[in-house]
């Protein structure tokens, strides 16, 4: 094992897959000369050349559309979008084409496409560049949506996504790039569609994904010092959604909190909560709680931005009220 940052884990996954499979290439805005908006593809142009690390025009629909065509033609493109907010400009390509071509051509066409995008808040990028839009894309059958929280998962899930024959939207939270974690030095995959227990507990189940996993773990640490044992479940993949570890944990704790950076209304947390109600209603000791982003466009001001997103303190208070 080696201790590396989330950014390096993503870069290592890309490099290793490009060395392993000559069909893999990267395309996007400033991925080559500039090295990516968040320096993930830094120095890769020098290593692989401009045929495999391709700078593109500022045109997200064209980037993803070209990626779809390349994937249908037998390549394995990795398209980088500066932010998932710009994925709205490519939504027709993602939703009406990438997600549906395999089905509409009766399995004769595969679209092994990965679209990497940065999501979430915390960098004072204001309302149109700080959104958590994963629910929009996770709603679409045929499109896989992955949101890793740790360097280990970031590398393993990206390698799995590149090898997958289906289109995968791979969302990286901008605040996770500097965090460090242990990652195997050899080749490994993290399966898409498998949730993970990040911390075991017996009193309350806290469900989260992406950066909110770290908020949940901070809350669990605080709660543990106060005698409340919290189990933290990281969804990792939003479609396909693996609820089995969540249900198993809830049947043990009988209490659940969903922590999400997206908006509460119609959010991922609503789907998680209703599935718990449907599958484990008899184990319910209290209503399921959702800690979610404020129902406002993301503010620019740093103090207001911080207030718009759940904190460890919010989760701790929710857990204490829930358990009584």
Alpha-carbon 51 to chain mean position:
28
Q: CB–CB of 243/233 below 8 Å? A: no
Q: Is 60 a catalytic residue?
A: yes
Report d(CA 283, CA 250) in Å as an integer: 8
State yes or no: is 321 an active-site residue: no
Residues 6+ apart with CB under 8 A from 99: 140, 141, 142, 143, 167
Element (H, E) at 276: helix 268-280
Candidate list 29, 60, 260, 305, residue with the active-site label: 60
**CA distances in angstroms from 255 to 200, 211, 241, listed in the order given:** 14, 22, 20
Which of 17, 80, 102, 129 is catalytic? The answer is: 129
Closest-CA residue to 315 (of 258, 252, 248): 258
In this structure, what token pair is assigned to residue 126?
Answer: 């204001």
Residue 72, classed as helix, strand or coil, is helix
The structure tokens listed for 13 are 């996954």
For residue 189, give both structure tokens: 């995959």
Buried b (16+ CB within 10 A) or exposed e, 52-84: bbbebeeebeebbbbbbebbbeebbbbbbbbbb
Active site residues: 60, 129
């Amino acid at each position: 094992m080696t201790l590396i940052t989330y950014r390096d884990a993503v870069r290592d996954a890309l490099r290793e897959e490009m060395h392993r499979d000559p069909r893999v290439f990267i395309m996007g805005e400033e991925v080559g000369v500039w090295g990516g908006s968040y320096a993930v593809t830094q120095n890769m142009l020098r290593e692989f050349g401009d045929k495999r690390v391709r700078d593109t025009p500022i045109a997200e629909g064209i980037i993803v559309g070209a990626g779809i065509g390349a994937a249908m033609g037998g390549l394995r493109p990795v398209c980088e979008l500066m932010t998932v907010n710009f994925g709205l400009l490519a939504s027709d390509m993602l939703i009406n084409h990438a997600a549906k071509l395999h089905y509409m051509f009766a399995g004769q066409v595969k679209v092994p496409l990965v679209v990497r995008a940065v999501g979430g808040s915390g960098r004072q990028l204001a309302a149109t560049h700080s959104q958590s839009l994963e629910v929009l894309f996770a709603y679409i059958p045929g499109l896989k949506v992955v949101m890793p929280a740790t360097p280990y998962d970031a590398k393993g899930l990206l390698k799995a996504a590149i090898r997958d024959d289906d289109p995968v939207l791979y969302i990286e939270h901008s605040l996770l790039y500097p965090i460090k974690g242990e990652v195997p030095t050899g080749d490994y995959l993290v399966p898409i569609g498998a949730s993970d227990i990040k911390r075991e507990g017996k009193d309350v189940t806290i469900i989260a994904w992406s950066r909110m996993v770290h908020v949940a773990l901070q809350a669990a640490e605080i709660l543990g010092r106060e005698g409340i044992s919290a189990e933290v479940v990281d969804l990792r993949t939003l479609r396909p959604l693996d609820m089995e570890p969540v249900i198993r944990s809830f049947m043990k704790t009988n209490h659940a909190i969903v922590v999400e950076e997206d908006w509460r209304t119609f959010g991922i947390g609503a789907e998680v909560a209703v599935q718990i109600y449907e599958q484990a209603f008899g184990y319910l000791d209290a209503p399921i709680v959702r800690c979610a982003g404020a129902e406002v466009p993301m503010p620019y001001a740093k103090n207001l931005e911080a207030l718009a997103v759940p904190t460890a303190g919010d989760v701790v208070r929710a857990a204490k009220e829930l358990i009584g």
